[in-house]
Amino acid sequence: MIVRLEKRNTPVDVRVRAPPSKSYTHRALIAAALAEGDSMIIEPLVAEDTLLTLSALRQLGVTIEERENGILIHGTGGVLCPGGRVTIDLKNSGTSMRLLASVALLADQPVVLTGSERMCERPIGDLVSALNAIGGHVRYLGREGYPPIEVSGELIGGDVEISPEISSQFITSLLMAAPYAEDDLIISLRGQSVSASYLDITLDLMASFGISVNVDAGKTFPVACGKPFAGRRYAVEGDYSSASYFFAIAAVCGGEATVTNLKPTSPQGDRQFLSLLGDMGCTVSSLENGYRLIRDSPLRGITCDMSGMPDTVQTLAAVAPFASGTTVIRGIAHLRHKESDRITAIEQVLSGFGADVVTSGDSLSITPGELHGGIINPAHDHRTAMSGAVLGLGIGGVSIHNAECVSKSYPEFWDVLKGAGLWNGMS
């Protein structure tokens, strides 16, 4: 699918409802599957990534029923019975791969986790080492340090140290399975956590399912054994990263964007994206269940640290060429290990469209230039495609190839854009 976008010459008035959170949906599905008792997950995100987690849980022996208002999951109490050695293809869902690596230790049969070619290039070695230190027998079926992996053994517990510098999902993976260890599990972080806000999401979700973790100085996570998640009715909140594209469109084109279904007190790090747009000159106001952004004056470049909101880095990078001065984004080295090397992707797209982009290991700077249209091939990265829509509406003459890759996190994105009058459906 090819989407062609033309420049918006008049201010926008966008009013949309944010889709359910991808991060919360993954975690809620897993907590419900491991819980004692049944859970009804209300309004989960139905997208490629979350469907892969759902399918994987079914392969692990979890009984799941799709209902009109959500998904009914019959909890296993942490006893997973896949009925034999099972191979689970997680395609390009890094969240599914990492979170399920620890969960697979609870299965009574070996579990093979594999995925796409890109998935097998995304490092998982630190998590595997941690799992093997607490009772697992996890082995690589290809290149050491990368999927595919075969998971067997037990989750004994004890003390484990892990580096969070590649992904906070390694810690989330251990946390989600920890209540089912034979002994208490104490997770200590070695180094500075990237995307630390995602750990806040994990802890918030665990508390909702009855497990509270008292974090010591943000570095040690003690989880008591013997107390499982409790089944419950759980409504998934809206996704700030998916909402960011509409706020960015208003920032670039002028006008306003109102996005509802956003929890003002959410621990999602991407909520801070709105503050960055405020620093660039937009006016942001909170509503009862969302936010309104107005841009009626010129944008200005900023310097910011986005280590806690990695999923909106590409969105801000798409706004930066329309601001006066240089925008510097720091704290983003781990973006090289996403669905694509996102730092390189940003550099290639923006420089190809006329902006001046300079990258280093941990940062990039973007200075406006003579902007012009062109082609974006997102290489199956949903966020490259959606941030490309921001560029397209600001520049015009932009064609996004393989645009269907947005199905990974926001399948309705192009339909919502069309419904908001921002895309005419042409390709």
Q: What is the pLDDT of residues 108-157, one digit of tens each?
A: 999 999 999 989 999 999 999 999 999 999 999 999 999 999 999 999 99
Residue 333: which pLDDT band, with cuts at 50, 70 and 90?
A: confident
- Alpha-carbon distance of 398 to 305, in angstroms, equals 29
Residue 341 has pLDDT above 90, yes or no: no
pLDDT at 193: 67
* Range 188-211 average pLDDT: 89
Residue 69 has pLDDT above 60, yes or no: yes
pLDDT in tens, 236-281: 999 999 999 999 999 999 999 999 999 999 999 999 999 999 999 9
What is the residue-averaged pLDDT of the chain? 94
- Alpha-carbon distance of 374 to 392, in angstroms, equals 9
* Range 273-294 average pLDDT: 97
- Alpha-carbon distance of 53 to 93, in angstroms, equals 8
> Do the strands 356-359 and 363-367 form a parallel or antiparallel pair, or are they unpaired?
antiparallel
pTM attached to this predicted model: 0.95
* Range 182-210 average pLDDT: 90
Q: Which of 40-54, 104-118, 341-355 has the lowest mean pLDDT?
A: 341-355
pLDDT at 338: 55
Q: Would you say 357 and 391 are in contact if contact means Cβ atoms under 8 Å apart?
A: no
Percent of the chain's residues with pLDDT above 90: 85
Which candidate, 225, 226, 173, places its Cα nearest to that of 30? 173
Kindly compute the dihedral angle of the four CA atoms of residues 25, 29, 35, 41, in this order, to the nearest 10 degrees: 70
Check whether the bond before 148 is cis (ω within 30° of 0). yes
Q: Does residue 350 come out as left (phi exceeding 0), alpha (psi in the -120 to 50 range) or beta?
A: alpha
With the C-alpha atoms ordered 334, 337, 343, 344, is the resulting torsion angle positive or negative?
Answer: positive
Strand arrangement of the beta sheet that strand 255-260 belongs to: 12-17, 255-260, 290-295, 283-287
> Do the strands 303-305 and 327-330 form a parallel or antiparallel pair, or are they unpaired?
parallel
- State the chain's maximal CA–CA distance in angstroms: 62
Residue 301 has pLDDT above 90, yes or no: yes
Q: Would you say 101 and 56 are in contact if contact means Cβ atoms under 8 Å apart?
A: no
pLDDT at 191: 74
Q: How many residues in the chain?
A: 427
pLDDT at 336: 66
Domain 3-19+238-419 matching CATH 3.20.20.70: the answer reads: no
Q: Which of 238-247, 304-313, 320-329, 398-407 has the lowest mean pLDDT?
A: 304-313
- Alpha-carbon distance of 57 to 264, in angstroms, equals 31
SS (H, E, C) the chain: CCEEECCCCCCEEEEEECCECHHHHHHHHHHHHHCECEEEEECCCCCHHHHHHHHHHHHCCCEEEEECCEEEEECCCCCECCCCCEEEECCCCHHHHHHHHHHHHHECCCEEEECCCCHHHCCCHHHHHHHHHCCEEEEECCCCCCCCEEEEECCCCEEEEECCCCCCHHHHHHHHHHHHCCCCEEEEECCCCCCCHHHHHHHHHHHHCCCCCCCECCCEEEECCCCCCECCEEECCECHHHHHHHHHHHHHHCEEEEEECCCCCCCCHHHHHHHHHHHCCCEEEEECCEEEEEECCCCECCEEECCCCHHHHHHHHHHHHHCECCEEEECCHHHHHCCCCHHHHHHHHHHHCCCEEEECCCEEEEECCCCCCEEECCCCCHHHHHHHHHHHHHHCCEEECCHHHHHHCCCCHHHHHHHCCCCCCCC
- Alpha-carbon distance of 129 to 66, in angstroms, equals 36
Q: Which of 36-45, 51-60, 162-171 has the lowest mean pLDDT?
A: 162-171
* Range 204-218 average pLDDT: 92
Residue 361: which pLDDT band, with cuts at 50, 70 and 90?
A: confident
* Range 98-107 average pLDDT: 98
Residue 99: which pLDDT band, with cuts at 50, 70 and 90?
A: very high
- Cα angle, residue 159 at apex, residues 157 and 160 outer, rounded to 5°: 95
Which residue shows structure tokens 């019975």? Answer: 81
CATH 3.65.10.10, the chain: domain bounds: 3-19+238-419, 22-224
Q: Is 32 or 424 the better-scoring residue by pLDDT?
A: 32
- Alpha-carbon distance of 135 to 158, in angstroms, equals 9
Q: May I ask the CATH architecture of the domain 22-224? A: Alpha-beta prism (3.65)
pLDDT at 344: 82
What are the residue numbers of the active site? Answer: 311
* Range 189-215 average pLDDT: 89
Q: How far is CA 143 from CA 40, 124, 148, 339, in A?
A: 39, 11, 8, 18
Residue 424: which pLDDT band, with cuts at 50, 70 and 90?
A: confident
